[in-house]
């Protein structure tokens, strides 16, 4: 399976024009909002865990959304002893590269975050891969934190498949709540700190640009970064 670092060696041979053109995946599909959503709540902050391929870009997208108070890259779906990048990259641990998003449900709903996830953050029709990255650690998954999230997530996936929102079926899995393990320090805020890194420039900056263009009311210019 090809890791993002293997891909970088290939990308390094490309021309500067390619690097500057922002040729990463970005879809021009009108993804409707979920017909069923959680109601705004004043019960405090809520957490949602999203897996959509390399966590660098997924984190970078959610860090620019109003109402998000934290977006941490990490691993979900496996055991503590194997929750480290070299081992997870083997694709044998059950983990998925994930982002734990803490948000204020008075300012943004779980359903709105799902719409961004399916519209901008990744391609939900790719099975066990995203762009140049292959393996179950790059699967599209929602690690639901409660029954309400599970209900909204399953209904939304069914809604999009029934409407043929995408040309291919949505393959995103809805998985039970799993222990989330924050990734190594060097993975946090990677997009923000390395916007010219070839992998980021090609695959992830277009996603952030699309978020700004497609969701102007949710966009916040200053990202919510993980503090050291």
Residues sharing a CB contact under 8 Å with residue 161, sequence separation 6 or more, in sequence order: 169, 170
Q: Which tokens sit at 222?
A: 């200053």
CA–CA separation, 139 and 6 (whole Å): 18
Active site residue 42: no
* Cβ pair 46, 177 in contact under 8 A: no
Alpha helices in 89-168 (DSSP H): 110-116, 147-163
Calculated CA dihedral for residues 118, 121, 125, 128, nearest 10 degrees: -130
Catalytic annotation, pick one of 51, 54, 72, 120? 54
CA–CA separation, 29 and 27 (whole Å): 6
Q: Which residue has the tokens 């949602």?
A: 48
- Report in angstroms the alpha-carbon separations of 167 from 25, 29, 125, 156, 160: 15, 10, 9, 16, 11
Residues sharing a CB contact under 8 Å with residue 7, sequence separation 6 or more, in sequence order: 132, 133, 199
CA–CA separation, 159 and 216 (whole Å): 24
Q: Which active-site residues does the annotation give?
A: 54
């Amino acid at each position: 399976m090809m890791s993002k670092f293997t891909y970088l060696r290939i990308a390094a041979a490309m021309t500067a024009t390619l690097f500057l053109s922002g040729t990463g995946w970005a879809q021009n599909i009108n993804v409707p909002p979920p017909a069923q959503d959680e109601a705004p709540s004043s019960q405090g902050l809520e957490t949602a865990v999203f897996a959509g391929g390399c966590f660098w870009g997924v984190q970078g997208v959610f860090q620019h959304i109003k109402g998000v108070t934290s977006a941490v890259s990490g691993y979900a779906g496996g055991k503590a002893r194997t929750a480290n990048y070299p081992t997870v990259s083997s694709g044998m641990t059950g983990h998925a590269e994930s982002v734990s998003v803490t948000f204020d449900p008075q300012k943004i709903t779980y359903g709105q975050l799902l719409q961004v996830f399916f519209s901008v953050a990744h391609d939900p029709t790719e099975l066990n891969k995203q762009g140049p990255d292959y393996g179950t650690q790059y699967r599209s998954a929602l690690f639901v934190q409660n029954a309400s999230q599970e209900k909204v997530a399953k209904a939304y996936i069914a809604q999009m498949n029934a409407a043929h929102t995408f040309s291919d079926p949505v393959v995103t899995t809805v998985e039970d709540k799993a222990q989330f393990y924050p990734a190594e320090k060097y993975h946090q805020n990677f997009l923000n700190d390395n916007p010219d890194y070839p992998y980021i420039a090609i695959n992830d900056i277009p996603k952030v640009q699309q978020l700004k263009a497609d969701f102007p009311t949710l966009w916040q210019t200053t990202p919510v970064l993980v503090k050291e």
